[in-house]
Amino acid sequence: MITADALHCHTRMAAAITQRGGDYLLALKGNRRHWLRRANLQLADATPSIAERTETSHGRNEWRQAEIVAAAEPLMPGHRAFIRITSRRDQAKPLMRLFMASTLLSPQQALDLTRAHWQIENGLHWMLDVHLDEDLSRARKDNAPANTALLNRLARNILQAADAPNVPISHRIKKCAWNDDYLINAITHMR
């Protein structure tokens, strides 16, 4: 199952995934306004399968609900369902996200898969953006963006394995800068 942001919600991506035997769960946003309108109409007209979940973590209460309807007509290769995830943290205004799926998931599966997608965003991309300043990179020409992305991921892997899990990454970065023995130990264990 491939999950991706709205940037990847197009027919070429759907065809590539389904031709290789995979399934997809692609975010649907305003960049596909006709598909978005159809999804909203179909979710309003049909009786969706619904599941709810309430979780408490990091001092926040989060309520999430998944609604799923089978697609009356596929909009791209393999398309079988529309999914609406509504979430609310504490007393904030509810947030709705729409997805297109190549398989008719249960509402519980939809909740699990959409949550897993954000774990990648929070666990990998957030760390690269905040600690390694990847968003501020000025590498724009030729192979420079791919090379710096590879180096950032190598640095991330080294930092992840460098110390005990309870030591923050920011502290590990400072230890590497301040202590040559710590830096050499962190680099030499990577093979």
Given this model, what pLDDT does residue 121 score?
67
Q: Two tokens at 34?
A: 């006709």
pLDDT of the chain along its 191 residues, tens only? Answer: 888 888 888 999 999 999 999 999 999 998 888 999 999 999 998 888 888 888 887 678 889 999 999 998 999 999 999 999 999 988 889 899 999 999 999 999 998 898 887 776 666 777 777 787 887 788 888 998 889 888 888 888 888 888 777 888 889 989 989 999 988 888 887 66
Domain ranges of the chain: 2-105, 134-188
Given this model, what pLDDT does residue 156 score?
84
Given this model, what pLDDT does residue 161 score?
83
Q: Give this prediction's pTM.
A: 0.68
Other Cβ atoms closer than 10 A to 105? 23
Given this model, what pLDDT does residue 81 score?
94
Phi/psi zone of residue 106: left (φ > 0), alpha (ψ -120 to 50 degrees), beta?
A: beta
Other Cβ atoms closer than 10 A to 130? 12
Q: Where are the alpha helices (DSSP H) in 121-143?
A: 126-130
Cα dihedral 68/74/77/82 (nearest 10): -20
Given this model, what pLDDT does residue 190 score?
67
CA distance 19 to 77: 9
